[in-house]
Amino acid sequence: MNRITRSSDEAHTKLKTLGFSCGDVAFIRDGQKVWQVYAHRGQQKVIAEALTQDKAWAEAARMAEVTN
């Protein structure tokens, strides 16, 4: 069975590999859907927002790598 992997799945895996607990939420701000990804590892926190789920996860993974 072929499985399509989304970039958000890859970013989630990367964050988990780095030891982060993480999740996401979508909400409406100023009439537009916004995705927020939150992750933490001890006292270290990452919060990323974007207009798509994949972009929010990619930004969170990038931020976590910079602080790693």
Per-domain residue ranges for the chain?
7-67
User: What is the identity of the amino acid at 58?
Assistant: A
Pick left, alpha or beta for residue 30 (phi over 0 → left; psi -120 to 50 → alpha; otherwise beta): left
DSSP for 9-43, please give it.
Answer: HHHHHHHHHTT-EEEEEEEEETTEEEEEEEEEETT
The hierarchical CATH code for the domain 7-67 is: 3.30.160.20
pLDDT along the chain (68 residues), means of 10: 74 95 98 98 97 97 87
| Amino acid 67: pLDDT | 76
| Amino acid 3: pLDDT | 63
